[in-house]
Structure 1
């Protein structure tokens, strides 16, 4: 069992265990020792971050830990998470690090790791790193201490890679696009790229102050973006999260489309062009049953994984698939990227708008979703509400009621202290009763 690592690195409230400067230093030393090659040569790590105030603290602490083991550190500054995966490979680094808590509020932060291939680490690698953190790491000799250097053009390199994933002749002339950058890592990159491609760009969430990332903006709070699309008569809205690895879309009528609809569009389009590897899309257990039915109707299959984009990527790599993602908006295109890339997915959606001449509202209605209800219950770290007999009884009752009519998924979030209760059923009254019964039972146990 991993103690520090969740579904996407180490994450928590800044200055509260495990997200302290001391722990970041220890993590840096441990991961530096884990990745440093025993033979000679340059030992290099790239570090990116989003716009949280605590990012400065963790950047310095990680740099200290990594250089203490002989790693040379290349500081990218604020860049999207997929840029770190890209730069890890392109700069021939042993390791990539992203300091971000993704869609979480500003008081949280996290540390994500990429291997030399640009892909996120496996569970087994994280367990080995945890063992090194617990045991302690012997520092390098004084003459072998690493150096640190700032890289000033990381976001430009990333931007060129994004544009290279599109046809050379692709332009966005005449398209009015609202881009919500969540006051996060893509606040400069995303509007610049859209403008360079010829779009009429209306940017929001582009004034980070260290404390407003994801606040009232971004993929988890799209209300401002919806209002902006409607007020400006925009053709489409693109909402990123704090580290720009996920995206949701807003059509010209102000309706939100999630990752399932985006994946449905890309999968069927790629299949028609004979470039969907393996005839399948990879997604998680959270994806809507309507997506699975839509794919089957087109002769395609849906490969389901545990929740977490890195589990999606692991299945993609193992099965030779090149398209996957999550309902939450992580879209992974391994022909071009090593992890979820919200801006890249948004650009490929715009490319399909321009190619087909169809509106966003048409393209984001690929299938009729089966009614799905997700509710979250926050608990205190250390509590075990799912082990309570009253909760187990409520779950059993809901499973019995949904038997043959729908499905139920209850899990602890890997990134926040939340119990997530999700059910899917075409009988909406039964759907609500099933979820409410479990949520009420969990809430009662937490409050006791």
Structure 2
């Protein structure tokens, strides 16, 4: 049997891998599964601003309704908005159409259960089994055909909910929002303006092709320059579907997920809201993060890279704060998934509560130099069995000893091998990272 679902739904180049035919068929299989487990199932569909979103939405609607599932279209919303609304309406499931931080030519479909979490692996497996089994699925007629509604007001419920999670208003705070020309381009200004902030907005003119294009959380340098030029207090950069956040301080210094977790974790520990004084992170977290946690009496637990693994560990241990260096931060008290908007307002709320500026709060963490190189390859799966790559990684690890580390892993969403080297001397680790990357390129091109 083939494999469709990856670590973050089904993702690929729109109209090449992610064709309308594939989407239609997977929607019929998923819809049929829900008809077998729900009475009168209803599915919510949201999308980001990619040009292919309408095409994929149409194929989903066609597939769901053809097996008798009702659909409510939410329009352009964020991934965490779909998760929240799926949990807090009587929906059976939700689907977000997005490829997150990937380029505009990619797209994806991510399913959420009625509890607001990503579908369990066993449910994805059952849907895939239907897809590849070629089992004939029913075509109900008459009143059995699914209905379609569009409700663009449901997103307002999400925004109003977010406002209830903070204690302070943001009056007189001057901030910039980089909306990545993505799903948050309307919601972010509405949220922060509603909380009283003086908002400056960049990259909020989506045209279907400019999502994540040299902007947003993967390119915070534009936001950093803007915050400095305008003399603002801080800035927030989101990705295409706004499930991650990168901040910048008044000096234009980038504040990634490691800093955000440390700042928020220290505060939550201080007010008795950090269960067992644990933060769940990933193996990508900087060694400086571990040092900061140790100093503050916080225990970092590490998982594989991927917010789903962070969430699994949080649920297993009853922890409420976790996330990734990339800016996927999960506040499990308030949300079932990483949420860039929620993270931004929680961080700002903590700064106001403690009377700190972001540039001051970030001093909790002193990072070791870290170099990340992404290598495009022909087949990332061959990495696991390649002896030449294993050899060069071992050589670099021996040189670094206890003063650094190497992490090489295939991307969960793209045909890339990611090389991370960490150590005290930036120039040396840059050379080591490039050395490993060149071997990977040679071996797996």
- TM-score, normalization by structure 1: 0.95
Structure 1 window deviating more from structure 2 (333-342 vs 400-409): it is 400-409
Given that 1:103 and 1:214 are in contact with CA atoms closer than 8 Å, whether structure 2 keeps it comes out as yes
Task: Report the alpha carbon displacement of residue 381 of structure 1 after superposing the two structures with TM.
Answer: 4.8
Query: What does 1:106-185 align with in structure 2 at a 5 Å threshold?
Result: 106-136=104-134, 138-143=137-142, 144-167=144-167, 170-185=168-183
Task: Report the alpha carbon displacement of residue 429 of structure 1 after superposing the two structures with TM.
Answer: 4.8
Describe the superposition over 1:21-64 as per-residue Cα deviations: whole angstroms up to 9, x where unpaired: 1101111111112233446x321111110000100010010111
**Separation (CA, whole Å) in 2 of partners of 1:391 and 1:305:** 23
Given that 2:380 and 2:415 are in contact with CA atoms closer than 8 Å, whether structure 1 keeps it comes out as no
Partner of 2:26: 27
* Misfit runs of 4+, over 6 Å: none
Residues 4, 38 of structure 1: alpha-carbon distance in 2 compared, 3 angstrom cutoff:
closer
Task: Report the alpha carbon displacement of residue 234 of structure 1 after superposing the two structures with TM.
Answer: 0.6
Residues 124, 434 of structure 1: alpha-carbon distance in 2 compared, 3 angstrom cutoff:
farther
Task: Report the alpha carbon displacement of residue 2 of structure 1 after superposing the two structures with TM.
Answer: 6.8
2:184 alignment partner, one of 186, 195, 198: 186
Secondary structure at the aligned position of 2:212 is classed as: coil
Residues 118, 16 of structure 1: alpha-carbon distance in 2 compared, 3 angstrom cutoff:
same
Query: What does 1:73-112 align with in structure 2 at a 5 Å threshold?
Result: 73-112=71-110
Task: Report the alpha carbon displacement of residue 304 of structure 1 after superposing the two structures with TM.
Answer: 1.0
Secondary structure at the aligned position of 2:55 is classed as: helix
Given that 2:380 and 2:444 are in contact with CA atoms closer than 8 Å, whether structure 1 keeps it comes out as no
- Give structure 2 stretches of 5+ with no counterpart: none
**Separation (CA, whole Å) in 2 of partners of 1:388 and 1:163:** 50
Given that 2:11 and 2:108 are in contact with CA atoms closer than 8 Å, whether structure 1 keeps it comes out as yes
Given that 2:245 and 2:341 are in contact with CA atoms closer than 8 Å, whether structure 1 keeps it comes out as yes
Describe the superposition over 1:133-174 as per-residue Cα deviations: whole angstroms up to 9, x where unpaired: 11135024214221111012122111011101112xx21111
Given that 1:36 and 1:94 are in contact with CA atoms closer than 8 Å, whether structure 2 keeps it comes out as no
**Separation (CA, whole Å) in 1 of partners of 2:220 and 2:402:** 35
- TM-score, normalization by structure 2: 0.96
Describe the superposition over 1:397-423 as per-residue Cα deviations: whole angstroms up to 9, x where unpaired: 223323433222111101111100112
Q: Are residue 307 (structure 1) and residue 305 (structure 2) matched?
A: yes
Partner of 2:284: 286
Describe the superposition over 1:194-229 as per-residue Cα deviations: whole angstroms up to 9, x where unpaired: 111111110111110100001121000122212211
Task: Report the alpha carbon displacement of residue 303 of structure 1 after superposing the two structures with TM.
Answer: 1.2
**Separation (CA, whole Å) in 2 of partners of 1:377 and 1:391:** 13
Residues 246, 165 of structure 1: alpha-carbon distance in 2 compared, 3 angstrom cutoff:
same
Residues 382, 391 of structure 1: alpha-carbon distance in 2 compared, 3 angstrom cutoff:
closer
Task: Report the alpha carbon displacement of residue 386 of structure 1 after superposing the two structures with TM.
Answer: 5.2
Task: Report the alpha carbon displacement of residue 392 of structure 1 after superposing the two structures with TM.
Answer: 2.6
- Aligned residues, how many? 443
Partner of 2:43: 45
Partner of 1:7: 7
Query: What does 1:335-350 align with in structure 2 at a 5 Å threshold?
Result: 335-350=333-348
**Separation (CA, whole Å) in 1 of partners of 2:240 and 2:427:** 35
Residues 75, 434 of structure 1: alpha-carbon distance in 2 compared, 3 angstrom cutoff:
same
Given that 2:45 and 2:82 are in contact with CA atoms closer than 8 Å, whether structure 1 keeps it comes out as yes
**Separation (CA, whole Å) in 1 of partners of 2:253 and 2:263:** 16
**Separation (CA, whole Å) in 2 of partners of 1:38 and 1:378:** 41
- Give structure 1 stretches of 5+ with no counterpart: none
Task: Report the alpha carbon displacement of residue 262 of structure 1 after superposing the two structures with TM.
Answer: 0.3
**Separation (CA, whole Å) in 2 of partners of 1:373 and 1:223:** 17
**Separation (CA, whole Å) in 2 of partners of 1:36 and 1:276:** 40
RMSD: 1.7
